[in-house]
C-alpha cells in the first residue's frame, strides 16, 4: 500500500481542520438497552478515575473554549434519552462500561461538570479532554486540556474529597480506585503526521521516544499521587481509522483498506509502552500496585481487518459520508445510518458504542486481574 507524500497529506488534513472550524454546519433511533454484568471478582474498587482524550472524554470539553465538542446531535443518539453528553460516539464509552462492570456507577461523568455531587466524586469521574495528548503541543493545537492539567485537576479532586470526607477516607478512595489512561492517537495523527514542527525536530523513532517519556511520566505522576491500580491503553490501528484512510490513500474512494504504515507505528509504540510499563511495575512493586497495559489495538484490528463479529460496515463512519465527518462536520443536518450497531465507527475517527463494548469485553480478563485482592 502506498500513500500520498507528506506535503500533500498535510495540505489535505489542514484543509479538513479549517473546514471543521470555519464551516460549522447549521434521525431518530431508539436508545439501545445495554446491560453489563457486574464483576464477580472478590475485590474492593472504590471508584473509576479516567484520563486521556476523546476515547474517554464524557463531556469535559463542553466547559472549555474549543471547537472540539460533541454535545449536539447526532452524538448521543443511542445514549439514555438520546442525550448528546459530549461523548464522541452514539452512546457509551469503554470507561462507562467498565464503571458498570465494577458496580461503582452507570456512567462516568466529566470532572468539570459543576453539578457533581460528593457521591459522584467518591465513585469516580473522568478528567479526559477530546483532542488532547501527551505531547504538550497536541492540546495547544486544539485548545483543550493538556495531560499535565488533567493531573492537576486530579490533585484538586483529592483536595475536594479530603475537605468533604476527611484525610483517611479520601486516601482510601484514591488508593482503591481503578485508573484508566487513554491517549496518544492525536499526538501521531493530528500532530506528528500533520504539522511540520515535530517532524522537523524529531525523526519518527525519536518522536516515539519523546512521547513515551511523556507517557510514562504521566503514569508515574499518578503513582506519586496515590494511584495503585492503573490500566494504560495502547494506540489503536491508526491506519484503519476512516479519516486516515481518506487522507492518506491515493484513491480513498475505491481503496478503503487499512494503511499498514500507520498501524505499524501503533504496533511499534505499543511494544515500547508495554516494556516501559513492565519496568515501572517492577520498580514500584514495593507499593503493592498493578500497572497494566490495555490492548485496544487487537480488538479493533480484528474487527476491521479480520472482519470479526459481522459488522456491516468497517471502513466508513455512520455519520455523513463516513469519510471525514467528525466534531462539527457530524451535526444535526448530517445523514445518519439507521442502525449504528452494524458500524464499527460512529464518525470518521471514533468507534460506535457497539465497538466500545467489544473493546470492553476484550479487557475484562485484564480488569479482573487488576482488581482482585
Residue-range domains of the chain with CATH: 6-21+39-252+259-297+357-368 (3.40.50)
Q: What percent of the chain has pLDDT over 90?
A: 83
Q: Which range, of 17-21, 76-80, 242-246, 273-277, averages the lowest pLDDT?
A: 17-21
Q: What is the largest CA-CA distance in the chain?
A: 61
Instruction: Name beta bridge partners: 49.
Output: 179
Helices marked H in the chain — which ranges? Answer: 6-22, 94-102, 118-123, 137-142, 147-165, 167-175, 185-186, 196-201, 204-224, 242-248, 260-283, 297-304, 353-371
Q: How far apart are CA 182 and CA 108, in angstroms?
A: 14
Q: How far apart are CA 231 and CA 85, in angstroms?
A: 24
Instruction: Write the DSSP string, 86-98.
Output: S-SSSS--HHHHH
Using alpha carbons only, give the angle 130, 115, 183 rounded to the nearest 5 degrees. 20
Q: What is the pLDDT of residue 4?
A: 46
Tens digit of each residue's pLDDT (9 = 90 or more) over 135-157: 999 999 999 999 999 999 999 99
Q: What percent of the chain has pLDDT over 70?
A: 88
- Residues with catalytic function: 54, 347, 350
Instruction: Name beta bridge partners: 181.
Output: 51, 232
Torsion (CA) 58, 63, 66, 67 in degrees, nearest 10? 60
Q: What is this structure's pTM? A: 0.90
Given a contact cutoff of 8 angstroms between Cβ atoms, the answer to whether 343 and 312 are in contact is yes
Q: How far apart are CA 160 and CA 272, in angstroms?
A: 36
Tens digit of each residue's pLDDT (9 = 90 or more) over 288-299: 889 999 999 999
Q: How far apart are CA 190 and CA 10, in angstroms?
A: 10
Residue 28 has pLDDT above 50, yes or no: no
Given a contact cutoff of 8 angstroms between Cβ atoms, the answer to whether 352 and 345 are in contact is yes
Amino acid at each position: 500500500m502506498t500513500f500520498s507524500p507528506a506535503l500533500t497529506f498535510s495540505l489535505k488534513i489542514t484543509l479538513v481542520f479549517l473546514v471543521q472550524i470555519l464551516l460549522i454546519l447549521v434521525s431518530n433511533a431508539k436508545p439501545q438497552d445495554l446491560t453489563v454484568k457486574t464483576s464477580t471478582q472478590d475485590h474492593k474498587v472504590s471508584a473509576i478515575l479516567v484520563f486521556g482524550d476523546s476515547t474517554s472524554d464524557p463531556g469535559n470539553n463542553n466547559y472549555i473554549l474549543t471547537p472540539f465538542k460533541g454535545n449536539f446531535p447526532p452524538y448521543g443518539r443511542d445514549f439514555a434519552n438520546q442525550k448528546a453528553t459530549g461523548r464522541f460516539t452514539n452512546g457509551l464509552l469503554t470507561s462507562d462500561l467498565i464503571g458498570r462492570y465494577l458496580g461503582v456507577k452507570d456512567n462516568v461523568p466529566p470532572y468539570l461538570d459543576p453539578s457533581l455531587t460528593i457521591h459522584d466524586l467518591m465513585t469516580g469521574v473522568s478528567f479526559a479532554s477530546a483532542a488532547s495528548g501527551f505531547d504538550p503541543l497536541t492540546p495547544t493545537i486544539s485548545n483543550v486540556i493538556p495531560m499535565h492539567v488533567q493531573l492537576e485537576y486530579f490533585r484538586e479532586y483529592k483536595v475536594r474529597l479530603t475537605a468533604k470526607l476527611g484525610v483517611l477516607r479520601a486516601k482510601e478512595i484514591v488508593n482503591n480506585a481503578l485508573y484508566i489512561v487513554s491517549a496518544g492517537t492525536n499526538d501521531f495523527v493530528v500532530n506528528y503526521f500533520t504539522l511540520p514542527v515535530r517532524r522537523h525536530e524529531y525523526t519518527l523513532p525519536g518522536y516515539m521516544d519523546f512521547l513515551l517519556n511523556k507517557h510514562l511520566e504521566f503514569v508515574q505522576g499518578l503513582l506519586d499521587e496515590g494511584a495503585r491500580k492503573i490500566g494504560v491503553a495502547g494506540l489503536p490501528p491508526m491506519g484503519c481509522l476512516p479519516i486516515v484512510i481518506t487522507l492518506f490513500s491515493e484513491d480513498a474512494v475505491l481503496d478503503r483498506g487499512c494503511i499498514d504504515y500507520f498501524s505499524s507505528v501503533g504496533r511499534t509504540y505499543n511494544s515500547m509502552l508495554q516494556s516501559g510499563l513492565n519496568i515501572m511495575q517492577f520498580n514500584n512493586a514495593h507499593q503493592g500496585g498493578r500497572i497494566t497495559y490495555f490492548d485496544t489495538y487487537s480488538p479493533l484490528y480484528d474487527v476491521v481487518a479480520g472482519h470479526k463479529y459481522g459488522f456491516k460496515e468497517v471502513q466508513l463512519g455512520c455519520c455523513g459520508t463516513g469519510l471525514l465527518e467528525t466534531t462539527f462536520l457530524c451535526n444535526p443536518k448530517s445523514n445518519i445510518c439507521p442502525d449504528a450497531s452494524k458500524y464499527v465507527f460512529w464518525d470518521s475517527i471514533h468507534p460506535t458504542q457497539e465497538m466500545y463494548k467489544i473493546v470492553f469485553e476484550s479487557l475484562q480478563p485484564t480488569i479482573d486481574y487488576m482488581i482482585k485482592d
